[in-house]
Amino acid sequence: MKSSLDGFAESPAVQLRARPGMIELGFGQPDPALLPSRAIKIAADGLLGGAQAADALSYGYERGPRDLVDAIADRIAETERRPSSSELLVTGGNSQALDELLTHLASPGDSILVEAPTYNFALAIMRSHCLRPVGVPNDEEGMQIERLEEAFGKLCKENRAPSLLYVIPTFHNPTGASLSRSRRHELVSFASARGLTIIEDDAYRELSYRDPAPESLWSIDPDRVVRLGTVSKSLAPGLRVGWMTANERLTRTLELAGLRQSGGGVNHFAAMVVAKVIRSGLYAATVDQLRAEYKARRNALVAGLAATLDGTSYQVPLGGYFVWLELPSTVDASMLLSQAEAEGVSFVPGRSFFPSPTGNTNYLRLAFTYYEPTMLKDGAERLVRIIRNLHPTRRTS
């Protein structure tokens, strides 16, 4: 993705800026025009102009400000069991939370079970901790439990038994799929029987476009599962505020560890702002608006893809940000990317989402959140034209 920024970096403030003339279907980011800056301004104003100003600027409570803990617990309680305050910890978003967890739960050289494909930058965070991600194939119902059993058994035989499993069961990045209900229970049972801790990356839960989001793994086994939530997708990623629900032993360990004892709560000021936004009702309103808007955008992208070729397949996601496109096995998505960018449309080749660097060249990830529907449809149609014109696809059935 980095290449997208080069040449536009004279005075960078943000991670990604769309290139002129390019429809950036690779951007897994919210549309800047949809960021609720007014709601956040009202919250920040109220906070800094009111009785809590000094609290917002002091070293924060290590678990996160209680106002935010309570507000998040209330939000969770609308659809799941309400976590107690000892089961909740405010984080600096899911990336920070994953990093903090790996510092405390893993050692260099450890294997960690992941889906194949999985979120590419979660793999990068694991690699920063010198872990070895081991992939378990997904299908349209998420991680395949039989393949999980195989992978676990193989690691045990090699004396590399893992203690962690990282999974994105709901509106997956990059596939858009959700783990089926039966597999959710099978996965948790398996983890329980084998002593695995599950890290459930639950970044997309709020963005469901048809049914309520599936039950979280955490709600099935709150002792075994560490679930990571965030306002990055449902409010604004620049705030860098998230939370975890986990058992009290773990939240207490993190609370009392050096990082939080030294600096206080992670990202305290922004956490205080988010508490205000949720309490004002503007968070729920923002989520409702994003659901409606992103659903329309998903539909537009899918409409643009509808005319795609035989041999190319994708699943219409029921939530989240992404459509995952499987191309005929003869197509190399990296090579396709050059052609596509030459014609003004971009995407992320799928290979980086696999823990093993070989094979899997025939996938690509498209995001439908960054642009308005007409642009998305246009981008998808351009892409379909390019794929159609490719020689190798003619050979697929």
Does residue 239 interact with its own copies by CB under 8 A? yes
**Interaction residues for its own copies, span 14-33 (CB under 8 A):** 14-16, 29-30, 32-33
Instruction: For the chain, report the end-to-end CA distance as a whole number of angstroms.
Output: 33
> 230 or 308: whose CB is closer to its own copies?
230
Q: How many binding residues for its own copies (CB under 8 A)?
A: 80
Does residue 108 interact with its own copies by CB under 8 A? yes
> 48 or 303: whose CB is closer to its own copies?
48
Does residue 137 interact with its own copies by CB under 8 A? no
> 104 or 181: whose CB is closer to its own copies?
104
List 89's β-bridge partners, or say none. Answer: 244
What angle in degrees, to the nearest 10, is found between the helix axes of 268-279 and 282-305? 90
**Interaction residues for its own copies, span 33-52 (CB under 8 A):** 33, 35-37, 40-41, 44-45, 48-49, 52
Shortest Cβ distance from residue 198 to its own copies (Å)? 19
> 64 or 162: whose CB is closer to its own copies?
64
> 99 or 293: whose CB is closer to its own copies?
99
Contact 106, 100 (CB under 8 A): no
Q: Please tell me what DSSP assigns to residue 313.
A: B
Shortest Cβ distance from residue 191 to its own copies (Å)? 24
Quick one: which of 79, 80, 86, 99 contacts its own copies (CB under 8 A)? 99
Does residue 181 interact with its own copies by CB under 8 A? no
The residues near 396 (Cβ < 8 Å, ≥ 6 apart) are 309, 310, 311, 328, 329, 330
∠ CA 173-14-89, nearest 5°, is 55
Quick one: which of 96, 138, 178, 245 contacts its own copies (CB under 8 A)? 96
- Residue whose C-alpha is closest to residue 169's, from 187, 151, 153, 195: 187
Cα 198 to Cα 390: distance, rounded to the nearest angstrom: 42
Site string for its own copies, 244-263 (x = CB under 8 A): ------------xxxx-xxx
Quick one: which of 74, 77, 84, 127 contacts its own copies (CB under 8 A)? 127
Which tokens go with 145? 């439990």
Q: Please tell me what DSSP assigns to residue 390.
A: -
Cα 87 to Cα 11: distance, rounded to the nearest angstrom: 41
